[in-house]
Amino acid sequence: MEKNINQQLMAIQAELKAPKSQYNSFGKYKYRSCEDILEAAKPILAKNGCTLTMTDDVVFVGERYYIKATATLSNGTATVSVSALAREANEKKGMDESQITGTASSYARKYALNGLFCIDDTKDADATNTHGQEAKPKTKKEQMYEDTVQDALDEIKQCNTVEDLKNTYKHYPMLIAEKRFIDALSERKKEIKS
């Protein structure tokens, strides 16, 4: 019996191990890059008869441009896609504009792959590193965003059907790249279906 795309994705997620082979000497921590994930995934994709493609789009959110990366897994007849956003820095010393865009693309792609393959980077120093800067208090805009995330998470807990979850997802388009939001939707969907 031929596996469907969800079964293939589950098999890939279960087998994929992407080691943290990069080292940041400034922050003194190990991390995994987009390339590390891709290299680990290639033989497992081939074994499961799947292909992986990555695309980037430039999107305007609020007052900023973001790179939206989409990772798409295909078995030839069906696909599963996950997207993630990364914002370009206003400026980065020693980088020209194309390098700044490339950095945003790499981050967005890495987090799209993390979402697709269920790789948790929350314990990574890369996820929490301040690069030598102290944490700044949240701006009003950042606090409003956090409040919106919390409202969405509370709403997800109240959902009783998959249709409720779909409506909640549509109600918060600004959170499509927010891992906490997507994870909560996914977890609640599992709870509803079980």
Residues 145 and 184 reside in one and the same domain: yes
- The count of structural domains within the chain is 2
> What is the separation of C-alpha 187 from the centre of its chain, rounded to a whole number of angstroms?
16
pLDDT band at residue 193 using 50, 70 and 90 as cut-offs: confident
Residues 152 and 124 reside in one and the same domain: no
**Of 194 and 38, more confident:** 38
Output the CA torsion sign for 14, 19, 24, 29.
positive
Residues 99 and 48 reside in one and the same domain: yes
Out of 99, 132, 165, a domain closes at 132
In this prediction, residue 93 carries a pLDDT of 55
Residues 16 and 64 reside in one and the same domain: yes
User: pLDDT tens for residues 69-105?
Assistant: 999 999 999 999 999 998 866 655 555 566 666 788 8
Query: Is residue 7 predicted with pLDDT exceeding 90?
Result: yes
Residues 106 and 155 reside in one and the same domain: no
Q: Closest Cα to residue 130, out of 24, 37, 49?
A: 24
> Directed axis angle between helix 34-47 and helix 97-117, to 10°?
40
Rg (CA), the chain: 18
Residues 75 and 58 reside in one and the same domain: yes
Residues 128 and 141 reside in one and the same domain: no
In this prediction, residue 30 carries a pLDDT of 83
Q: Closest Cα to residue 177, out of 124, 125, 93, 104?
A: 104
Kind and range of the H or E run holding 58: strand 51-61
Residues 92 and 149 reside in one and the same domain: no
Residues 169 and 116 reside in one and the same domain: no
Q: Which domain holds residue 164?
A: 136-194
Total Cβ atoms within 10 A of residue 37: 23
Is 57 within 8 Å of 70 (Cβ atoms)? yes
Spatial CB neighbours of 176, under 8 Å, sequence gap ≥ 6: 83, 85, 182
Residues 70 and 119 reside in one and the same domain: yes
User: pLDDT tens for residues 113-153?
Assistant: 999 998 876 554 444 454 444 556 667 777 777 888 888 88
Out of 79, 104, 132, a domain closes at 132
User: pLDDT tens for residues 18-53?
Assistant: 888 888 777 778 888 889 999 999 999 999 999 999
Mean pLDDT calculated for residue range 61-68:
84
**Of 5 and 171, more confident:** 5
Mean pLDDT calculated for residue range 170-174:
80
Q: Closest Cα to residue 185, out of 121, 119, 172?
A: 172
Residues 101 and 175 reside in one and the same domain: no
In this prediction, residue 128 carries a pLDDT of 47
The identity of residue 138, as a single letter, is: K
Out of 114, 132, 150, a domain closes at 132
Coil, helix or strand at residue 45: helix
Residues 120 and 157 reside in one and the same domain: no
